[in-house]
Structure 1
Amino acid sequence: MQTVRHSEQTLRTALISKNPVLVSQYEKFNAAERRLMNEAFQPASDLFGPITLHSQSDWITSHPEPPQDFEEFFNAPSRKTPSPEKRSIYIQCIGLLGNTRIISEEYIKWLKGYCEAFFYGLTVRLLEPVPVSATRCSFRVNDSTQKLQIHAGHILKFLKRKKPEDAFCVVGITMIDLYPRDSWNFVFGQASLSDGVGIFSFARYGSDFYNSSYESKGKALQKKSSNDYSVFDNYYVPEVTSILLLRSCKTLTHEIGHIFGLRHCQWLACLMQGSNHLEEADRRPLNLCPICLRKLQCAIGFNIVERYKALVRWIDDESTEAPRVTPKHSHEDSVNLPKPVEAFKEWKEWIMKCLAVVQK
């Protein structure tokens, strides 16, 4: 295992900058906010630690990229910032997210609420869910998994056409696996920063995605016409669990972060780290390091403390109105049970530590 550790001065410069204008901007944070942000370059901090690499297949090793400090983010000519007229994030559901319509509707509401807290200060809206057929995208059966895949690039074109006037971005979410071109095996997601659209699949985050139980169905699908979207009717979706919800929230916020212009983080353990595989994605925390937090705050203008409190409220809001996850592949209505937030326990504890530092 390798540790990516930067000097205190390097991290200080990456966060605050040496540009007098950006230093002056940083000093406009109140003392409590600066105390939290300054944890970035405190060697003994238990809030923001260094990045650990576990193998040569990890993202930083296999995808060398120049690091992006705050000054580079601020000066990036392609960076997009929400305007008073375009301050809405739209979420477009493609196909069902749960094994019943009710679960699917609740699941997307949970994701909406999380995004509203994470991107505090922006409005998050839901577009009417659509079936795969509405996108007119190409699809195929993956040779390795024998599961259906839809073409990510075609979905992006569909989302661009549907983008509302007040949208900062539109993100599509689906439980169907994605591929970007015929020569690729799969992708977790794909985005167009210039168009402000993205599509992300949570299919491979289900605990039984790689089971062989659907191989026979996949082989049968190969005989269908390439225009027969009925193959997606009642198609398999993973069981909705707390882990699946956590992974979905993590992916959604990471990828929307890219649309804001945040590149992969190479400074500290951070949500914006790249990931090559599920194990690495699971190691990635839910939180932004102070450098990436300052980037997002600069783009949106939220109060840091109020944002953390909103995230805690989302975790604590285990509404009894939410339906219970029914047994796999059931299409019956479900009984009421709380939102599955067990996997967010460590995330909440971490936020409470941050609030304790701020409120000293």
Structure 2
Amino acid sequence: MQEGKFIYLAGFGVEKRLILATAKNIREVFGFGVRFSHITLPPRLGYNPQRGQYKGDTLLEVLSKVYYPDMLKFLALLPFDLYEEGLNFIFGLAQLGGRYAVVSTYRLKSEDERLFFERVFKEVNHELGHTFGLMHCKNKKCVMNFSNSLQDVDAKSRFFCEFCSKILPKP
């Protein structure tokens, strides 16, 4: 069905080890191949100086102009603090049923690198789940459960529950 299609991953100011580990996570959880994009973003794009944050949907809109013929999805990892109108911050943002997603590592940090990477994987899987059409799940352990805090992120698994797994496409 999706043969020959890849999930493209871009990292902007994010450590290479995290990008490589994220690619491994994506292959393991979704079963699709991962390719790396080397696009760049203008340094102040979407930046709101009053808030000291970047507007998530502005970044998502610019990224949505990136296209590769063999692209299934496109995900960008960013070190910036993101927000949306009406919210203090967001961990990430995705086009529901679309191709593009962003995840911020800014609020996921921990001195424990394993915990930090695990948090990033959970948010990556969550946002990619949205691109595959998944909504928020009521199962507290499902990666599609809504996260409003680090405690919420830490409480859930990086995997999809049985119900959500059935909705995801197979490679």
- 1:1-360 correspondence runs (5 A): 83-84=2-3, 87-94=5-12, 96-97=13-14, 104-120=15-31, 122-128=32-38, 130=40, 132-133=42-43, 137-141=45-49, 143=51, 148-181=52-85, 184-207=87-110, 241-267=113-139, 269-296=141-168, 299-301=169-171
User: Would the aligned equivalents of 2:92 and 2:104 in 1 still touch at CA under 8 Å?
Assistant: yes
Matched letter for residue 143 of structure 2: L
Q: 1:195 to 1:292 in 2, by over 3 A?
A: closer
Residue 6 of structure 1 corresponds to none
Gaps in structure 1 of 5+ consecutive residues: 1-81, 98-103, 208-238, 302-360
1:285-325, Cα deviation, whole Å (9 max, x unpaired): 223222222222xx115xxxxxxxxxxxxxxxxxxxxxxxx
Matched letter for residue 110 of structure 1: A
Give the Å deviation of 1:267. 4.7
Other structure's SS at 1:269 match:
coil
CA RMSD of aligned residues (A): 2.2
User: Would the aligned equivalents of 2:98 and 2:131 in 1 still touch at CA under 8 Å?
Assistant: no
Give the Å deviation of 1:268. 6.4
Give the Å deviation of 1:240. 7.2
Other structure's SS at 1:172 match:
strand
User: Would the aligned equivalents of 1:270 and 1:286 in 2 still touch at CA under 8 Å?
Assistant: yes
Matched letter for residue 293 of structure 1: S
More helix by share: 1
Give the Å deviation of 1:187. 1.4
Give the Å deviation of 1:266. 2.3
CA distance in structure 1 between the aligned counterparts of 2:128 and 2:97, rounded to whole angstroms = 13
User: Would the aligned equivalents of 1:268 and 1:289 in 2 still touch at CA under 8 Å?
Assistant: no
Identity percentage of aligned residues: 26
Give the Å deviation of 1:279. 0.9
CA distance in structure 1 between the aligned counterparts of 2:140 and 2:18, rounded to whole angstroms = 31
1:35-70, Cα deviation, whole Å (9 max, x unpaired): xxxxxxxxxxxxxxxxxxxxxxxxxxxxxxxxxxxx
Matched letter for residue 88 of structure 2: N
More strand by share: 2
Give the Å deviation of 1:131. 5.2
CA distance in structure 1 between the aligned counterparts of 2:75 and 2:88, rounded to whole angstroms = 22
